[in-house]
Amino acid sequence: MSVGPSRLQRLRRELHGIPEVGLHLPATQAVIRRELAALGIEDVHLGQDLSSVAAVIRGARPGPTVLLRADMDGLPVREGTGLEFASVNGAMHACGHDLHMAGALGAAEFLVAARDQLAGTVVIAFQPGEEGHGGGRIMVEEGVLELTGELPVASYAIHVWPGVEAGVFQTRSGPVMAGLNDLRVRVTGVGGHASSPHRLRDSVPVISEIVLALQTFISRRVDVHDPIVLSVTQLSAESAALNVVPESSRLGASVRTLSERSVAIIAEEVPRLVAGIAEAHGCVADVTFEEVYPVTMNSGAHVEHAVRVLRRDYGDDAVELLERPLMASEDFAFFLNQAPGTFLLLGARPREIAAEEAEGPHSPRVRFDDAVLDRYARAFAALAREALTVF
């Protein structure tokens, strides 16, 4: 006899079909509010400048506050999974945030059922705008960490990962995800007719030289033990026709860092490098460097606690300690900067997909095994419940 999807799987698939992008997610927020109301959670706070939802679950006895974070937004990616519940609105939950919301709602159900045993309060923060929109920063600025009148003693987030065996948790002490920074360069020269480049100041070869110089800079000026990943992802020249040398050219790059020292190196030295190259060719360069997300920094004590709880509940093989940070970025960093805790990965690779064939996050074909949702929900609730008695 076949067994249908669980309640959490059905909820995840409903959310998967209605992805929304950015800070304003009205349809997604409505589902979250519906589910919280069904659980009898009345202490719910909505964001002002974004569609966030924060549910406050108060235990029967006084105690500290613990925060759980689940991100809500999708990506502007057209889905290509072929799943029967695939999105058809032009966006996609290509990073597993649909599972995060369903898992957090499952944790809320377990915590509500255990209210009589809770000594303290659990805040579950449903956060829009994780995918580059700074939703975590906005939620912190709007006061999500002070809803109970005191900062959380522990904060947790679990992120499903499509390339890791289903059900296996991964984490590490210290930096676990890189900081995210944006680099933009505009080179301005003198445009004109393509037949007479010697009379002009062509910005195209200059911007091309800068692309190569940035790669050399990273390999020769940056300590390999404190790495920086710099990827030029945008390159354009403002020309309306093939026979016109453009007046200016631009590039955009994503820069991942693991320390403030690395951020300082980029911020101080790259503008000088770029300006020098442009000047050597008779052009002018404008450089903008912006810190978008800080490094996601796990607390050693909170990692030890999480590993102890998860290995007790699921066995030693269910938890792996990462040797090095991931160079992807997470705006859960804004929460951790004020409320120490742990960011964890949970493997969600479908069992029929080999590890080497699994698509990564943000791929239009990425697939997640939502059978891990029960473990997600139980682990999330256990981490919160026991942190109330430890920290």
Q: Answer for the pair 281, 198: CB distance below 8 angstroms, yes or no.
A: no
Candidates 287, 249, 256; CA nearest to 269 is: 287
Question: Which secondary structure element, helix H or strand E, spans residue 160, and what is its range?
Answer: strand 154-165
C-alpha distances in Å from residue 390, one per residue of 119, 177, 227, 309? 11, 25, 35, 11
Contact 194, 244 (CB under 8 A): yes
Low-confidence ranges of the chain (pLDDT < 50): 1-2
Q: Give CA angle at 333 (332, 336), nearest 5°.
A: 95
pLDDT of residue 223: 87
Give the per-residue pLDDT at 91: 97
pLDDT of 63 reads 96
- List residues bridging with 186 in a β-sheet: 250, 286
Domain range list for the chain: 7-173+299-390, 178-293
| % the chain with pLDDT above 70 | 99
Distance (Å, rounded) from C-alpha 121 to C-alpha 388? 8
> Which residues face 245 on adjacent strands?
192
Pick the CATH number of 178-293 from 3.30.930.10, 3.40.1440.60, 3.30.70.360, 3.90.105.10: 3.30.70.360
SS3 (DSSP) at 270: helix
Phi and psi, residue 345, nearest 5°: -105, 150
Q: Using an 8 Å Cβ cutoff, are 292 and 180 in contact?
A: yes
> Is 129:73 a contact under the CB 8 Å cutoff?
yes
Whole-number pLDDT of residue 1: 38
Give dist(CA 28, CA 50) in Å, integer. 12
pLDDT value at position 221? 87
Q: What is the model's pLDDT at position 35?
A: 97
Q: For the chain, how far is it from start to end, CA to CA, in angstroms?
A: 46
Nearest-angstrom CA–CA distance, 361 and 95: 5
Contact at 8 Å (CB) between 109 and 39? Answer: yes
333 in Cβ contact with 294 (< 8 Å): yes
> pTM for this one?
0.91
Q: What CATH topology corresponds to 7-173+299-390? A: Aminopeptidase (3.40.630)
Q: Would you state the pLDDT for residue 55?
A: 98
Position 304 scores a pLDDT of 97
Number of CB atoms found within 10 A of residue 239's CB: 17
CB 346 within 8 A of CB 313: no
Q: What angle do CA 133, 333, 318 make, to 5 degrees?
A: 115
290/250 Cα distance (integer angstroms): 16
CA distances from 31 to 36, 102, 169 (A): 9, 10, 27
Using one digit for the tens of pLDDT, what is the confidence trace for 209-253? 999 999 999 999 888 889 999 999 999 997 778 999 999 999 999
Q: What is the pLDDT at residue 3?
A: 57
For residues 44 and 113, the answer to whether their CB atoms sit within 8 Å is: no
Quick: pLDDT tens for 60-102.
999 999 999 999 999 999 999 999 999 999 999 999 999 999 9
At residue 211, the pLDDT reads 97
DSSP label of 18: S
